[in-house]
């Protein structure tokens, strides 16, 4: 089956993939991944962050090779390799995967809002309103989504800045002794970062909409490197701020560390 032809007016510049991938990765998974690292690998969990980052870069490289072969999206990959019948079945499974991912993120987001802000918030009505808003944005086209992703890129910098307030209360002796856990423990901890690192696979959907897709490779790899360093930065500060037993009991360590920030009446921190 031949890939659908897309006009240049519908395509986006290759460097926008940098913002699309980061926006997809930086989400609710950023709020609680540290406790799972500590659970499986203790304070050696920072090694798992690096391994997970390298793995995502390798997987993204493989995805680029796949879409380059068929010059299309994940549907074209399945049709080319498995034929129309089995390919359509795999496409349905892949669609359910994205649906599961969307529902997981939405439910976690609602839970955070209910716990930290509005305990009586209706899950159904909030989810309905949120989904309708998302549909409105989607009908605006890919360029609208890219615009939102571009402005959402500011979120990681806010988190990085606020996490810096934990430094005066941090104890970096928590990391000693280094390499105190087995390689299997570190790999298990790395696997626990799956939800936090998910999002880059959306390349398989919007690849046909990229202008000069060969130039998008470096921007895709750079986006994963950026998120890896951001996760590593937050991991190191979180591990230094929390005692290990305390960290394992925290539901959202990133949000809990935000609570130390106080805003005075004059507006300064």
Q: Is 89 a residue whose pLDDT tops 90?
A: yes
Q: Would you state the structure tokens that stand for residue 201, as one six-digit string?
A: 């696979």
Residues 114-129 pLDDT 10s: 988 888 889 999 999 9
Residues 39-72 pLDDT 10s: 999 899 999 999 999 999 999 999 999 898 888 8
First to last CA, the chain: 59
Asked if 77 and 217 count as a contact pair (C-beta separation under 8 A), the reply is no
pTM: 0.87
Q: Is 221 a residue whose pLDDT tops 60?
A: yes
| Residues 65, 61: Cα–Cα separation, whole Å | 6
Task: Provide CB contacts within 8 A for 128, sequence distance 6+.
Answer: none
pLDDT value for 96: 92
Task: Provide CB contacts within 8 A for 225, sequence distance 6+.
Answer: 53, 57
The pLDDT of 145-153, averaged and rounded, is 83
């Amino acid at each position: 089956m031949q890939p659908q032809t897309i006009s240049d007016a519908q395509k986006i510049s290759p460097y926008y993939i940098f913002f699309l991938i980061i926006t997809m990765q930086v989400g609710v998974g950023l709020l609680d991944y540290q406790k799972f690292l500590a659970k499986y690998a203790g304070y050696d969990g920072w090694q798992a962050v690096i391994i997970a980052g390298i793995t995502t870069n390798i997987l993204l490289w493989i995805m680029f090779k796949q879409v380059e072969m068929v010059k299309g999206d994940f549907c074209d990959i399945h049709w080319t390799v498995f034929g129309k019948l089995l390919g359509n079945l795999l496409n349905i499974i892949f669609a359910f995967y994205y649906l599961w991912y969307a529902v997981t993120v939405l439910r976690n987001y609602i839970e955070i809002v209910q716990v930290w802000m509005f305990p009586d918030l209706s899950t159904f009505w909030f989810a309905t309103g949120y989904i309708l808003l998302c549909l409105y944005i989607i009908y605006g086209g890919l360029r609208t989504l890219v615009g939102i992703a571009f402005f959402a890129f500011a979120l990681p910098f806010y988190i990085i800045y606020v996490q810096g307030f934990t430094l005066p209360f941090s104890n970096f002796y928590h990391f000693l002794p280094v390499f105190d856990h087995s390689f299997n423990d570190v790999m298990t901890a790395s696997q626990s970062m799956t939800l936090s690192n998910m999002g880059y696979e959306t390349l398989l959907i919007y690849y046909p909409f990229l202008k000069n897709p060969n130039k998008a490779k470096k921007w895709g790899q750079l986006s994963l490197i950026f998120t890896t360093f951001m996760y590593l930065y937050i991991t190191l500060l979180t591990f230094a701020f929390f005692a290990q037993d305390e960290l394992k009991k925290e539901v959202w360590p990133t949000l809990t560390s935000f609570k130390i920030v106080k805003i005075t009446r004059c507006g300064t921190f």
